[in-house]
């Protein structure tokens, strides 16, 4: 397995290196689907040169990265391509280990359930076997490394790749059960792009269950655990914010990064839902709808944490996907991250209902993005409505994908307990209907 992983890494790095050297690199780094105003490499370079001139990089309205990133690249600017390839490798390896570890956990849990006779007798076909699980870690790594979305992100040198790496390490630390490191990386991810704060809930649930603290609101130990983790997280966040303050000796980065993320002033088209809506809107409704759109990301966290209390890893996946769909400046790099988790749920395949339609939708809309962009911007014959239509199709596809996986997961859990072949009261085979 390790050999296959190394081979995959070599192939992935080669593909990226070749693309870096080709004429496509410049074209890719200009694509609005791949880079957003938040993470475009051009803006990082701009910020760096401002910094070199002794001007605050946030004094203009161009640079929206966090101070730590700019100081990181202050030293590494000459090795940028190498850094981005390494970051992708780190993400893939981290996800590989996550999948490997999580498999062991799942298997242990399954054996435990069998021993307690919690499962219905006829569910043998639903049970996961080591043989089926053996290839999952490699598939996860491959899904990240060879996904065109992540390749494009890397070649465009979008700092989204760094965010992905931080989130991947955070998930790894969580799976390994190390609360402190998990908190550090969660804080870093939040510091980077704000939205990962929603991952606090799944991480807390996972860590608590790993430490055998029962997740129960009447249980004092859980509150203690919650406080411990929250303090660690907030402490790390505070440290990184203060560090940024001392590096620049001003708080000007806060409105330029977090303010920029939250108030959505840049309406450059991207694959998200914000730009068109806010370009069309009357100015005096703006604040209200900004709040509505932003709350959308965090809105699902509470109900999901109730429903998926016992499955924090799946919760984590859903939450990452929700962030990728509803964040204010999404890029394909965010999509690539949650897509890497899909092989971990390959056992849900038989319960997925619309996977064919959804796959077709996602592929066709991602191909149509550049076509409609060309028609709108270069040919001038189409207009923004055409492009937004495809954005909508892409997002509807993503939402259907996530809800399909969610439904399949819940349904499998249901079948595991109640048995695969359900009988209705009159003895006929029953159907489960989602209404």
Partner 1 sequence: MGLLSDPNRRQVLTNLVTRMNTPLCFLCYLAGITWFMGLAFEPFALRMYTSENAMGSTMVDENFVYGDRALSYSREFSGHGKKAGGMPVDWLVKTMTGLGLETHTQTFTRTLPFPDEIRERYMVKGTNVYGILRASRAASTESIVLSTPVEIRHNNQAGGLLLALASYFRGQIHWAKDIIFLFNEHDMIGMEAWLEAYHDVNVTDISSSVMQGRAGAIQAAITIEMSSDVVTSFDISVVGLNGQLPNLDLVNLFTSFCQKNGVLCTIQGKLPRTDGETLEGYVHSLNTMLMMVLKQGSGKSQGDHGLFLRYHIEAVTIRGINSFRQYKFDMVTIGKVFEGMVRKLNNLLERLHQSYFFYLLPSLSRFASIGYYMPAFIFLLLILLLKALDLWIKLLQVPVCPRDCVEEDVGPGFLSILTPVFICHAMGLALYYVPLLCQDTATDHFPVSETEAVVLTSIAIYVAGLALPHNTQRVLPIEMADCGWMTLKLISILYLALLLGCITLINFSLGFILAVTLVPAAALAQPVSHKMLNALFLLLMSPATVLMLCIYLYHELAEYPITLLECWQLFLQAIAESILDHHLYGSIVYPFIVFFVYPCWLLLWNVVFWN
Which residues contact partner 1 by CB under 8 A? 131-132, 135, 353-354, 356, 360, 363-364, 367-368, 371-372, 374-375, 378-382, 386, 407, 431-435
86-99 burial code (b ≥16 CB/10 A, e <16): ebbbbbbbbbbbbb
Nearer to partner 1, 197 or 401 (CB): 401
User: Nearer to partner 1 by C-beta: 425 or 435?
Assistant: 435
Compute the least distance from the CB of residue 432 to partner 1, in Å: 8
Q: What is the DSSP letter of 430?
A: P
Least distance in angstroms from the C-beta of 131 to partner 1: 6
**Facing residues of 429 across strands?**
423
Q: Which residues of 43-77 are buried (b: 16+ CB within 10 A; e: fewer)?
A: bbeebbebbeeeebbbeeeebbbbbbbbbbbeeee
63 Rama sector, left if φ>0, alpha if ψ -120 to 50, beta otherwise: beta
Comparison of 6 and 360: residue with beta carbon closer to partner 1: 360
Query: Closest distance between partner 1 and the C-beta of residue 130, in Å?
Result: 12
Looking at the Cβ atoms of 265 and 370, the one nearer to partner 1 is: 370
Which CB sits closer to partner 1, 31 or 210? 31
Cα Rg of the chain, angstroms: 23
Euclidean distance between CA atoms 278 and 125, whole angstroms: 49
Neighbours of 150 (CB within 10 A): 27
Record the tokens describing residue 187, joined without a space: 């804080």
Nearest distance from C-beta of residue 37 to partner 1, angstroms: 25
Least distance between partner 1 and beta carbon 389 (Å): 11
Length of the chain: 435
The answer to whether residues 261 and 193 touch, using CB atoms and an 8 Å cutoff, is yes
Distance CA 182, CA 169 (A): 8
CB of 116 to partner 1, least distance (A): 25
Closest CB 381 distance from partner 1, rounded Å: 4
Write down the least CB distance from residue 242 to partner 1, Å: 48
Best CA proximity match to 144, nearest among 351, 395, 332, 379? 332
| Token output for 311 | 């499955």
Choice between 291 and 371, CB closer to partner 1? 371
CB of 426 to partner 1, least distance (A): 16
CB 41 within 8 A of CB 29: yes
- Closer Cβ to partner 1, 58 or 376, answer by number: 376
Question: Token match 């630390």: residue?
Answer: 173
Q: Which is nearer to partner 1, 263 or 354 (CB)?
A: 354
- The candidate with the shortest Cα–Cα distance to 43, out of 188, 157, 179, is 157
Q: 3-state DSSP call for residue 423?
A: strand
48 vs 401 by CB, closer to partner 1: 401
Pick the closer one to partner 1 by CB: 357 or 417.
357
Minimum distance, C-beta of residue 407 to partner 1, in the bound complex (Å)? 8
Task: Mention every residue, 6+ apart, whose C-beta is less than 8 A from residue 262.
Answer: 194, 290, 294, 328
* Alpha-carbon torsion, ordered 91, 93, 94, 98, to 10 deg: 130
17 touches 25 (CB < 8 A): no
């Amino acid at each position: 397995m390790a050999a296959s992983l190394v081979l995959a890494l070599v192939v992935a790095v080669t593909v990226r290196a070749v693309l870096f050297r080709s004429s496509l690199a410049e074209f890719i780094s200009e694509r609005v689907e791949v880079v957003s105003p938040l993470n475009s490499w051009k803006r990082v370079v701009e910020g760096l040169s401002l910094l070199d001139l002794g001007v605050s990089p946030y004094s203009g309205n161009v640079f929206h990265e966090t101070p730590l990133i700019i100081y990181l690249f202050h030293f590494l600017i000459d090795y940028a391509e190498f850094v981005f390839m390494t970051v992708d490798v780190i993400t893939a390896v981290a996800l590989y280990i996550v999948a490997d570890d999580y498999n062991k956990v799942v298997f242990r849990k399954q054996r435990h359930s069998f021993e307690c006779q919690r499962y219905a007798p006829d569910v043998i076909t639903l049970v996961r076997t080591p043989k089926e699980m053996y290839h999952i870690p490699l598939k996860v790594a491959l899904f990240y490394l060879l996904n065109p979305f992540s390749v494009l992100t890397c070649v465009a040198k979008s700092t989204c790749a760094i965010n992905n790496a931080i989130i991947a390490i955070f998930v790894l630390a969580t799976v390994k059960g190390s609360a402190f490191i998990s908190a550090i990386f969660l804080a870093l991810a939040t510091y980077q792009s704000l939205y990962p704060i929603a991952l606090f809930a799944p991480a807390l649930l996972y860590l608590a269950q790993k430490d055998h603290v029962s997740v129960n609101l009447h249980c004092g130990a859980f509150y203690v655990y919650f406080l411990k983790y929250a303090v660690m997280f907030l402490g790390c966040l505070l440290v990184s914010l203060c560090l940024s303050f001392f590096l620049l000796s001003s708080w000007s980065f806060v409105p330029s990064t977090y303010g920029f993320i939250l108030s959505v002033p840049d309406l450059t088209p991207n694959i998200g839902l914000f730009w068109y809506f806010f370009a069309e809107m009357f100015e005096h409704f703006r604040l209200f709808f900004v709040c509505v759109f932003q709350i959308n990301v965090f809105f699902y966290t509470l109900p999901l944490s109730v429903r998926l209390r016992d499955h924090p890893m799946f919760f984590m996946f859903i939450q990452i996907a929700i962030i990728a769909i509803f964040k204010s400046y999404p890029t394909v790099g965010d999509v690539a991250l949650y897509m890497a988790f899909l092989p971990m749920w390959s056992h849900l395949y038989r319960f997925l209902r619309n996977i064919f339609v959804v796959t077709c939708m996602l592929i066709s809309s991602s191909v149509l993005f550049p076509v409609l962009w060309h028609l709108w911007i270069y040919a001038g014959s189409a207009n923004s409505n055409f492009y937004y239509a495809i954005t909508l199709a892409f997002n509807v596809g993503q939402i259907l994908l996530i809800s399909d996986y969610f439904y399949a997961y819940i349904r499998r859990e249901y079948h595991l307990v109640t048995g695969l072949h359900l009988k209705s009261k009159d003895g006929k085979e029953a159907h489960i209907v989602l209404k």
